Structure 1
Amino acid sequence: MTDMTISFLLIVMILLAFFATQLSSQDTVPRDQFNVILNNLREARADIRRLEAERDTAITERDAAREARDAAISERDAAIQERDRLRTENEDLLTKIRQLEALVDRLQRDLDAVTAERDDLLERLSRLQQINPLEAYLAQAIEQRREILIELRERLLEQFPELASIISIQQDTLRFQGEGLFATGSSQPDTARKRAIVEAMGLVLDEILACYSLSETQEDTSSCGNNSVLVEAVQIEGHTDSVGTDGTNFPLSAARAITTLQTMVRVAPSLSTRLNWSRQPVMSIAGYGPMRPIDTNETVAGRSANRRIDLRIIMYAPSNVEEVEEIRRRLDALRAAGGSE
């Protein structure tokens, strides 16, 4: 609008100048009219300067507006980019949230399964903690048998240290391996020292069995503690290597077992009075000949290992809870009476 006004005034000035050139020197106008025209010209020039200033101001404002517009456009573009970035981040976050929710659901299912398994185990444990007397007896019997074997071996080693490489515990058996007690082909201890070993074994075993068997004789059982299990049998087992025939090996193995038992009973007579739950003698013998080797018979060392005596301890296994209670009652009665019922 300002540019149009300036252009209009320029046109007016041009027309005035044109009319002025058309006047001749002889042409005259009244002064009043001249003054009016002059004043109009001055006002037009002033208006032109004013309008030019306004135009410059408008141009400046226009340029500033354009800069502001460009800045706003840049800010808008930056805002759009930021919006797009935030939208992308938001989508990524939503994806991660969904993944985490799925993970939480899976972990919750796992936790529920573990909790259920824990509850089941706790229930089982609770049932197990309700000890079955029969199961408790059998577990105690196994533990007591091992303690008997350990005590027997340790007390023998105290008197006869040389037996360290000869006697060993094998599950329910105390094993005398090789020619520790008998020479090849013999059923008798060939030295006084070996005979002393058998005698010491009889004395120690008799003392131990006082706590794990019934007896018709009165004796001090105060050292037995609260033991409430019984030995069914102590079996002395004789073994040979494969050299020779069955006709010689079986009698030889049985003879070794018999000699061992007789030697033990000679120094500890009460061994023969130790009774099991069925009122049968606890002590027994067996001869296996070469039937149960523990090593090869193809070497000297193997055959030596197979010629042995095993002292096997068999614990009594009750058939019901009532029998367990009766065993405990009888053993308590024996201790209370000093060994006799």
Structure 2
Amino acid sequence: MSDLSFHQAEAHAEEDENYFISMTDMMVGILFIFIILLMVFALNFRQQTETSEDHIRKLEAAAAAARSVTAKLEEIQKDVRSEIDSISATDRVRAALLEEIQSKLRAQGLIVTIDPVSGVVRLGNNAINFPRSSAALDATASERVVILAKVLAEVLPKYTRIGTELPAHLETVFVEGHTDSTGGDPNNWPLSTERAVNTFRGLTEAEPQLRTLMNLAGTEVLSVAGYSSTRPIREFSNEDGRQRRIDLRFVMDANNLDRLRDVLELTDTMQDQLQFLQKSLDDVGVH
């Protein structure tokens, strides 16, 4: 897989995570339009003096459309709450995964840090590190890769096995290579990618079953990416050797496509009802 493909894969994962946020933004906009129309309708209704049957029938039709939209909004609110619960559950599953890996590595003498927000296990100097301008794993680093591989082989299957009771499964584990800022991007991009590839190769040679772990789409969970010096750790000097590191980034798949489709269908129906409401208001002279 090319470096461009690595970044496209991660960008796709990030787009999936943000898709529901965009959907809710759209629904807020629709709700705002509906409130304005309903206010205009209410004001006009109070001002009406005409009592013809046709006029009353049109007003009743507009009121029915308003009630229908209100019901649809309640359904959307329920789905939004459900999605929020799902996202929270996914975050809890990933946090538990990171903590389990950290605990098992600590028991083997490897101290790593975790970032539950971004889903990262950071392998610093105490775990896997590289000499400047090198992607080679020395004897110590190779031994630590073997330890890491055994822990991943023990922990990851329970988070990828279809049929478990977990609300989310692993979509991807990126083995991410990083460099410090010396040397410049022309050298550091391939260098960081080579570091990730060498680590990936060490992991899968030590525990070949890691390549058999599949996500819900049926593709391999383990992948690689290189970031040059673009993602420094803030608390370290950019020249610090700890920038020449490997991170593991865990991306979860909550399998929420069906729920998102339901929300989209509700918004389409709601839009139809809003158009009907506007037409009814036009018919009774509201402009």
Instruction: Output the TM-score relative to the length of structure 2.
Output: 0.56
RMSD (Å) for aligned C-alpha atoms: 2.9
Measure, in 2, the Cα distance between the counterparts of 1:173 and 1:285: 14
> How far does residue 136 in structure 1 lie from its aligned partner after superposition?
3.3
> How far does residue 206 in structure 1 lie from its aligned partner after superposition?
2.2
Question: Is 1:185 aligned to residue 133 of structure 2?
Answer: yes
Measure, in 1, the Cα distance between the counterparts of 2:107 and 2:219: 32
Pick from 86, 92, 114: which aligns with 1:169? 114
Structure 2 CA distance for partners of 1:302 and 1:154, relative to 1, 3 Å? farther
Measure, in 2, the Cα distance between the counterparts of 1:173 and 1:272: 20
Question: Is 1:243 aligned to residue 182 of structure 2?
Answer: yes
CA deviation map 1:204-255 (0-9, x unaligned): 112222112147xxxxx9xx6x324211110011110111132221111101
> Which one-letter code corresponds to 1:169 in the other structure?
I
Pick from 202, 222, 225: which aligns with 1:283? 222
Q: Would the aligned equivalents of 2:79 and 2:259 in 1 still touch at CA under 8 Å?
A: no
Measure, in 1, the Cα distance between the counterparts of 2:156 and 2:206: 15
> How far does residue 147 in structure 1 lie from its aligned partner after superposition?
0.9
Give 1:1-341 correspondences, 5 Å limit. 133-160=82-109, 163-164=110-111, 167-170=112-115, 171=117, 172-178=119-125, 180-181=127-128, 182-192=130-140, 194-214=141-161, 226-295=165-234, 299=237, 302-317=239-254, 318-321=256-259
Structure 2 CA distance for partners of 1:178 and 1:159, relative to 1, 3 Å? closer
Measure, in 1, the Cα distance between the counterparts of 2:168 and 2:89: 7
Measure, in 2, the Cα distance between the counterparts of 1:179 and 1:252: 21
Structure 2 CA distance for partners of 1:277 and 1:322, relative to 1, 3 Å? farther
Structure 2 CA distance for partners of 1:200 and 1:178, relative to 1, 3 Å? closer
CA deviation map 1:141-196 (0-9, x unaligned): 11111111111111111112xx33xx20123100012474222222122124x212
Unmatched runs of 5 consecutive residues or more in structure 2 = 1-76, 262-287
Structure with greater Cα Rg: 1
Structure 2 CA distance for partners of 1:179 and 1:238, relative to 1, 3 Å? farther
Measure, in 1, the Cα distance between the counterparts of 2:218 and 2:103: 30
Measure, in 1, the Cα distance between the counterparts of 2:200 and 2:79: 43
Measure, in 2, the Cα distance between the counterparts of 1:214 and 1:322: 23
Unmatched runs of 5 consecutive residues or more in structure 1 = 1-127, 216-220, 324-341
Instruction: Output the TM-score relative to the length of structure 1.
Output: 0.48
> Which one-letter code corresponds to 2:176 in the other structure?
E
Aligned length: 182
> How far does residue 286 in structure 1 lie from its aligned partner after superposition?
0.5
> How far does residue 274 in structure 1 lie from its aligned partner after superposition?
1.2
Structure 2 CA distance for partners of 1:245 and 1:322, relative to 1, 3 Å? closer
Measure, in 2, the Cα distance between the counterparts of 1:203 and 1:321: 36
Measure, in 2, the Cα distance between the counterparts of 1:246 and 1:256: 15
Structure number with greater CO (CA < 8 Å, separation at least 6) is 2
Q: Identity, % of aligned pairs?
A: 30
Q: Secondary structure at the match of 1:285?
A: strand
> Which one-letter code corresponds to 1:157 in the other structure?
R
> How far does residue 139 in structure 1 lie from its aligned partner after superposition?
1.7
